[in-house]
């Protein structure tokens, strides 16, 4: 390592670097606008941020090609990391559109918000690119610290600051476990780089005593971030208390980032221990799906409902990792992308149902929405059908691919439990639809919807891709197929 020629392919970090540059630009625009009190300039911050997302997406497309490693193999740019970067960009772009009129309403500090979204996205992209435990930890903390701030963005609101407080205390606690796990894996193998860990772990001369507690602690750390049961306690409260566009971003992008590193650590660095972590993850997947769905059945707040639904979706995605195959990784990537579109779409509709000054909406607001606002109800129904896994929407193929990967991986029992869970899930998603179409409107029903064009564009894009990915899933899968193979060829 010491005598190797300095290998610095800075280009491998271009997607994250582009996000950071635009974050600085957003802050600069905000600062100059603040001094002169020119509202038109200030209002430009979301558009600068959105431009950053689009430019970064362009950079990602331009970089599709051979994998490039950087900093002595601490990070890699391959199709897998670009795929994760793309999911994060989708989540960031849609959330910026949803936020454009929402955030000024709940908090005056506009610039920081968009700068933080971009910086968090940069950290999340590094999660997908990291091939070293040190980089994984750094990226994990980069995006987590930003999310703690975003959850408490509305300081005047008791619920928002409480959400930040809970998220922060439990998040810091969990990162302690994560870093201890990383330290023990390093102790067992003497390496932090995934390939070297894998090489040492298969070497019969290595004493692997410490690797097992290390794996367990890493699962706790990652499990917290993707909200697996029993590390999910923070999820409903944080999702409910945080401003709704932040919740939308958090639910989709955090899952993508944390699962990205989760997959790479376990499949590239620790494949030889799969006999140990495979069954453990399968058990966690069963617990997560079941408890998430059962708890969602009795929620009245829409944000809490979506929070528990997001816990159960984490369980479905984990099925792909428990399968431990390339098909499982591909399926999970498709799941993460579909989830970003349909879930942010659903949260965007929730922002429309909120009353002035509120950051949550009760399910009762939906009663008879089909009569009062037919278009909005139809859009919400499509997102709910997709989340439930009804064809021909994206959510159907997402579930189909993951379950098929589990069956191929010899885990038919897991696929069967996951399918039973989809049935439980369908109950509460379809109940939302039933309330919208078969209940009569009453005093609680939303009668006035203050829509705005950025939000409409956001919902439109989410809706278009929810349907498009459901009809043509090959749009994404052909792009990713070869990529996942190279990513895992590392082992």
Q: How far is the CB of 140 from other proteins (least distance, A)?
A: 9
How far apart are alpha carbons 158 and 163 in whole angstroms? 9
> Closer to other proteins at the Cβ: 197 or 461?
197
Interface pick for other proteins out of 113, 137, 231, 476 (rule CB under 8 A): 137
Q: Should residue 182 be labelled a site residue for other proteins when binding is judged by CB under 8 A?
A: yes
Please identify, using beta-carbon distances, which residue of 13 and 336 lies nearer to other proteins: 13
User: 101 vs 303, which CB is nearer to other proteins?
Assistant: 303
362 DSSP β-pair partners? 301
CA–CA separation, 195 and 201 (whole Å) = 10
**Residue 76: enclosing H or E segment and its boundaries?**
strand 75-77
Identity of the residue, 69 or 433, whose beta carbon is nearer to other proteins in the bound complex: 69
Contacts of 262 (CB under 8 A, 6+ apart): 222, 226, 321
Smallest distance, other proteins to C-beta of residue 295, A: 12
Binding of residue 71 to other proteins (CB under 8 A)? no
Interface residue with other proteins, options 10, 31, 64, 233 (CB under 8 A): 233
The minimum distance between CB 159 and other proteins, in angstroms, equals 5
- Does residue 208 bind other proteins (CB under 8 A)? no
Q: Residue 133 or 327: which CB sits closer to other proteins?
A: 133
Nearer to other proteins, 152 or 363 (CB): 152
87 binds other proteins (CB under 8 A): no
Q: Which residues contact 270 (CB under 8 A, 6 or more apart)?
A: 185, 197, 198, 201, 211, 215, 277
Check residue 375 and give left, alpha or beta (phi > 0: left; psi -120 to 50: alpha): alpha
End-to-end CA gap in the chain: 19
State in angstroms the smallest separation of the CB of 259 from other proteins: 21
Instruction: Tell me the C-alpha distance between 203 and 400, whole Å.
Output: 37
Q: Which residues contact 15 (CB under 8 A, 6 or more apart)?
A: 56, 59, 60, 63, 77, 82, 85, 125
Decide if residue 134 touches other proteins (CB under 8 A). yes
CB of 241 to other proteins, least distance (A): 6
Tell me the longest C-alpha to C-alpha distance in the chain: 75
144-163 residues near other proteins, rule: CB under 8 A? 145, 148-149, 152, 155, 158-159, 161-163
Which DSSP state fits 440?
P
Tell me how far, at minimum, the Cβ of 122 lies from other proteins, in Å.
15
CA distance 45 to 230: 39
Q: Are 339 and 252 spatial neighbours (Cβ–Cβ below 8 Å)?
A: yes
Residues near other proteins (CB under 8 A), total: 40
- Strand, coil or helix: what is 371? helix
Binding site for other proteins (CB under 8 A): 1, 133-134, 137-138, 141, 145, 148-149, 152, 155, 158-159, 161-166, 168-169, 172-173, 175-176, 179-180, 182-184, 186-187, 190-192, 233, 236-237, 240-241
């Amino acid at each position: 390592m010491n005598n190797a020629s300095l290998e610095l392919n800075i280009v491998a970090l271009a997607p994250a670097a582009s996000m950071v540059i635009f974050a600085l630009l957003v802050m600069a625009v905000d600062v100059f606008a603040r001094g002169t009190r020119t509202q038109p300039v200030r209002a430009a911050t979301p558009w600068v941020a959105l431009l950053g997302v689009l430019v970064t997406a362009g950079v990602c497309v331009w970089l599709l090609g051979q994998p490039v490693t950087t900093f002595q193999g601490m990070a890699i740019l391959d199709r897998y990391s670009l795929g994760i970067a793309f999911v994060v960009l989708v989540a960031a772009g849609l959330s910026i559109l949803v936020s454009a009129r929402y955030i000024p309403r709940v908090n005056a500090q506009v610039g920081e918000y968009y700068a933080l979204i971009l910086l968090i996205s940069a950290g999340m992209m590094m999660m997908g690119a990291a091939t070293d435990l040190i980089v994984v930890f750094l990226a994990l903390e980069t995006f987590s610290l930003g999310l703690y701030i975003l959850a408490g963005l509305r300081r005047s609101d008791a619920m928002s600051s409480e959400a930040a407080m809970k998220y922060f205390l439990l998040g810091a606690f969990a990162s302690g476990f994560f870093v201890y796990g990383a330290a023990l894996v390093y102790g067992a193998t003497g390496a932090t780089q995934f390939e070297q860990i894998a090489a040492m772990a298969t070497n019969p001369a290595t004493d692997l005593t410490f690797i097992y507690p290390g794996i367990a602690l890493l699962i706790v750390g990652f499990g917290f971030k993707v909200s697996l049961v029993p590390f999910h306690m923070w999820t409903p409260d944080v999702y409910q208390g945080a401003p709704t566009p932040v919740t939308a971003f958090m639910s989709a992008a955090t899952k993508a980032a944390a699962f990205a590193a989760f997959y790479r650590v376990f499949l590239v660095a620790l494949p030889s221990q799969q006999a140990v972590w495979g069954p453990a993850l399968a058990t966690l997947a069963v617990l997560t799906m079941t408890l998430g769905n059962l708890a969602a059945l009795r929620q009245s707040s829409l944000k809490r409902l979506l929070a528990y639904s997001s816990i159960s979706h984490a369980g479905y995605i984990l099925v792909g990792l428990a399968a431990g195959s390339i098909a499982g990784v591909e399926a999970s990537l498709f799941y993460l992308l579909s989830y970003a579109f349909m879930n942010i779409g659903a949260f965007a509709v929730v922002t429309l149902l909120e009353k002035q000054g509120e950051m949550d909406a009760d399910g009762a607001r939906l009663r008879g929405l089909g009569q009062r606002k037919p278009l909005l109800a139809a859009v919400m129904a499509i997102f709910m059908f997709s989340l439930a896994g009804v064809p021909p929407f994206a959510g159907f193929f997402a579930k189909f691919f993951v379950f098929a990967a589990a069956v191929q991986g010899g885990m038919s029992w897991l696929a069967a439990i996951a399918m039973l869970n989809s049935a439980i899930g369908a109950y509460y998603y379809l109940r939302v639809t039933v309330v919208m179409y078969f209940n009569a409107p009453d005093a609680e029903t939303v009668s006035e919807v203050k829509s705005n064009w950025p939000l409409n564009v956001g919902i439109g894009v989410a809706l278009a891709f929810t349907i498009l990915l459901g009809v043509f899933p090959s749009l994404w899968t052909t792009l990713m197929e070869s990529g996942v193979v190279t990513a895992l060829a590392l082992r």
